[in-house]
Structure formats: C-alpha cells, structure tokens
C-alpha cells in the first residue's frame, strides 16, 4: 500500500509543472485544489470560508513614527450542486474583502465566481479520474487591484482548469489516501482598464494587452476516521503581465498544510496555514499617480490563516444516516462493484474465447484451402500425364 501511495503521489508531483489560486474551492478536494470527482447527483453543499493576514507597518507622520497593523480579511461562501454523475455547478460570492484603499476600506460584497465542472471520468475501478472545469468571474465589487490579493482589474474573467485525481480506493475515493493536480489558464479580459483610483486625465496608464495567467495546484490528503491531514502547493505565474500600476504583478507560490475534523457525515471543519515560498519582490512602480506604497508591506501576504466549515444541505436524509447505515451501504456498493468486475471479466474472457475460435476456424479454412489446392494440382498433373501418354501411343494402321 505504501508503494502505491508513493507511486500515486510521485506521478502527480512529476506532472505538476506550475499554477490555481484563481479562487477558493468549496467542492470535493481541498480548499485550493479541486478534485476531478463531481458532487453526487442531487447533493447541495455549502462551504463557509474565511482567511486573514495581518502585519505591523510603520508610518512616518512628520517627525513622529507610528506603528499601524494592516489587515487582509476575506469571507466567502461556496455552493455546489451535483447535476448528474458527471456534471456539477458552483457559485461562490466573496461576502467581505478588505481593500486597504478608499472609504470604507472594504468590499461588501466582493466579486462573484461561477464554475461548471465535467468530471468523474476514467475506467471503472481505476484509481485515476480526470475532468475539466470552466470558470468565470463577475466583477460585483467596488474596488479592484488590491494589495495582498491576486490580480484583478474589475473585468469579466474566464478560464479553464484541467483536473486529475488519484485514490487508493476507487469505490470510496475520499476515504483512502488521495492526491490531486490542477492546471488552470485564466484570461483577465482587462484590455483598456485603468487600475488606480486617480482621475482618468491624471492616470493615463491603461492595460494595453489582456493579462493572462497560468495557475497550478497540487494536493495530498491522508484521511482517518475523524481527521484528515493534507498538504497543498499552489501558485500563479503571468503569461502576460498587467501594467506597472498593478499591485500584484509578480508570480507567487504558497505551501499550505491543514487538517479537517469530521464530527458528522454531513459536517466537517478545517483549518490550514498558507506560507508564501516565492520571493518578496515588488515590481509595482510607486510614485505614479494613484499608486501608493502601504508602509513596508509585501504585495502578497507572507502567511494566511484559513478556517472553513463544509455542510451538506441536500438531501436532508444525510443527517439521519447512522454509522451502521454507512457500513451497510459500503458493503452493498462493494458487492455491486465486485459483481460488475466479474461480469466484465467474463465478458472479456468470452470475447477472447470467441476471437480464438474465429482464429482457429480461419486456420482450418486455410488448411482446407491448401489441401484443396493440392488436390486440384494433383488432378491437373494426372490429366496432363494421361494426355501425354495418349499422344505418345502409335496411331493404328489402316
């Protein structure tokens, strides 16, 4: 089993050539890594998530130096509905987002994210599954181009995410060691946008070409009876950077260890800490109109604490399921899977036997044709010999 775990994790890590962070994930998978499996048909879930970062900075007020704590707090809801065995849809509004600009200094609400995922594809009984998701961002917030947050310009964004998942237990994939890989392309659709709050005639810098990003996310999860332990690696790199008035122009990478507590089948709580691995570089050009440095703060948070609560809303019957019911259901599912695998094996064996029979019949036909050809050749030679004998006999005298 350990060898299988190491092999599965190694495959995913080798495939990961760097990018998500475009938004939170509240469906199957991890908070920043989406699983290739879709939600069960008819299931509706909600993920309530909050993350925060704070750092003390120093502000010079004349001859006086003052210490100020700058915060970046975000609160999000994430709803997911299973449409059928291969399709799910998600909607995710950011309810609260600190902006550290303007008045009152926060967005209520912030932007709205939409996603449709096609997934749970793969061979029956296989440990690997794959899928693809279409993602969209609707700009409902007042402020964009925020320090500490991934780049946004207040435009309608779209993108696609490729999904790959691995599990040791294909029947109950989330109850055994599992691993996930996401690769996301995002088009910010921001050509012509002005990023600062300065008046149009003061800030004349615009986005000349649409900003494009490539994001990646890799996640490993080790489940136990009541707790799941997991690790995420995620980040973003720019295929085409925004202009110098953007606060978030740099590539970034985070690592995030976390744990999930599962008190009930329909409720789970999780916590994790994001730690930035990428360099603390700053490519924004301060001093331009509308572009102001916030103390000595980095463009991306050094660390973030995440807390979340996952609740199954529908079907309501899930709240009445006992541990005995779960075990009975698992036993029945495994029996059905084993029976199907036996049927498929028999069908495969039957097909192989039929193919062998056809091959044998073909060989028999070839042997019969060869025998027939030999007989015809012998008869032809015999007739030729008889003809030659007749020709050699002397003609009778008249």
User: For residue 398, is it within any domain?
Assistant: no
Domain shared by 334 and 302, yes or no: no
Two structure tokens written together for 109: 């609400």
Q: How far apart are CA 77 and CA 39, in angstroms?
A: 17
Domain shared by 351 and 304, yes or no: no
User: For residue 199, is it within any domain?
Assistant: yes
Domain shared by 12 and 113, yes or no: yes
pLDDT in tens, 254-263: 999 999 999 9
- Which residue range(s) make up the domain with 161? 2-320
Count of helices and strands (H, E) across the chain: 2, 15
Q: How far apart are CA 52 and CA 302, in angstroms?
A: 11
- Alpha carbon 291 to chain centroid, angstroms: 35
Domain shared by 287 and 342, yes or no: no
Domain shared by 313 and 372, yes or no: no
Taking the CA atoms of 149, 152, 154 and 156 in sequence, report the sign of the dihedral they define. negative
pLDDT in tens, 283-318: 999 988 889 888 788 889 999 999 999 999 999 888
Inter-residue contact 272 to 232 (CB < 8 Å): yes
Range among 21-35, 142-156, 382-396 rated most confident: 142-156
Domain shared by 304 and 357, yes or no: no
pLDDT in tens, 160-186: 999 999 999 888 899 999 999 999 999
Look at residue 249 and tell me whether its pLDDT is greater than 60: yes
pLDDT in tens, 41-53: 999 999 999 999 9
User: For residue 227, is it within any domain?
Assistant: yes
User: For residue 356, is it within any domain?
Assistant: yes
Domain shared by 200 and 108, yes or no: yes
Inter-residue contact 156 to 137 (CB < 8 Å): yes
pLDDT in tens, 83-95: 999 999 999 999 9
Q: What is the DSSP string of 70-125?
A: EEEEEEEEEEEEEEETTEEEEEEEEEEEE-SSSSSSEESS--EEEEEEEEEES-TT
Confidence at 109, pLDDT banded by 50, 70, 90: very high
User: For residue 82, is it within any domain?
Assistant: yes
pLDDT at 350: 64
Q: How far apart are CA 179 and CA 15, in angstroms?
A: 12
Inter-residue contact 80 to 39 (CB < 8 Å): yes
Q: What is the total count of domains within the chain?
A: 2
Q: Give Cβ neighbours of residue 337 (< 8 Å, ≥ 6 apart).
A: 125, 171
């Amino acid at each position: 089993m350990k060898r299988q775990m190491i092999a599965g994790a190694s495959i995913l890590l080798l495939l990961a050539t760097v990018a998500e962070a475009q938004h939170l994930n509240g469906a199957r998978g991890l908070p920043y890594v989406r699983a290739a499996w879709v939600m069960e048909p008819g299931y509706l879930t909600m993920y309530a998530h909050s993350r925060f970062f704070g750092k003390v900075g120093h502000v010079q007020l004349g001859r006086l130096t003052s210490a100020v704590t700058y915060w970046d707090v975000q609160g999000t809801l994430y709803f997911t509905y299973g449409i059928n065995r291969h399709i799910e849809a998600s909607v995710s509004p950011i309810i609260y987002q600190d902006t550290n600009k303007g008045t009152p200094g926060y967005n209520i609400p912030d932007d709205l994210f939409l996603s449709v995922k096609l997934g749970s594809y793969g061979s029956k009984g296989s440990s690997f599954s794959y899928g693809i998701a279409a993602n969209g961002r609707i700009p409902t917030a007042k402020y964009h181009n925020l320090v500490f947050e991934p780049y946004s310009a207040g435009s309608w964004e779209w993108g696609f995410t490729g999904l790959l998942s691995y599990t040791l237990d294909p029947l109950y994939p989330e109850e055994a060691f599992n691993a996930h890989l996401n690769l996301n392309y995002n088009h910010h659709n921001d050509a012509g946008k002005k990023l600062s709050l300065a008046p149009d005639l003061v800030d004349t810098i615009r986005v000349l070409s649409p900003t494009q990003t490539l994001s990646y996310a890799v996640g490993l999860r080790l489940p136990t009876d009541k707790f799941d332990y997991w690790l995420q690696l995620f980040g973003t790199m720019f295929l085409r950077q925004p202009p110098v008035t953007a606060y978030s122009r740099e590539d970034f990478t985070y690592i995030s260890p976390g744990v999930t507590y599962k008190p009930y089948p329909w409720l789970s709580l999780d916590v994790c800490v994001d730690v930035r691995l990428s360099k603390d570089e700053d490519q924004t050009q301060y001093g331009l109109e509308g572009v102001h440095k916030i103390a000595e703060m980095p463009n991306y948070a050094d660390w973030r604490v995440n807390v979340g609560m996952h609740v199954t809303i529908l079907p309501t019957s899930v709240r009445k399921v006992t541990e005995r019911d779960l075990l009975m259901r698992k036993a029945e599912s495994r029996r059905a899977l084993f029976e199907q695998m036996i049927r498929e094996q028999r069908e495969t064996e039957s097909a192989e036997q039929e193919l062998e029979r056809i091959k044998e019949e073909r060989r028999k036909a070839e042997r019969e044709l060869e025998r027939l050809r030999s007989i015809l050749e012998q008869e032809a030679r015999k007739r030729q010999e008889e003809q030659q004998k007749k020709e050699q006999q002397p003609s009778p005298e008249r």
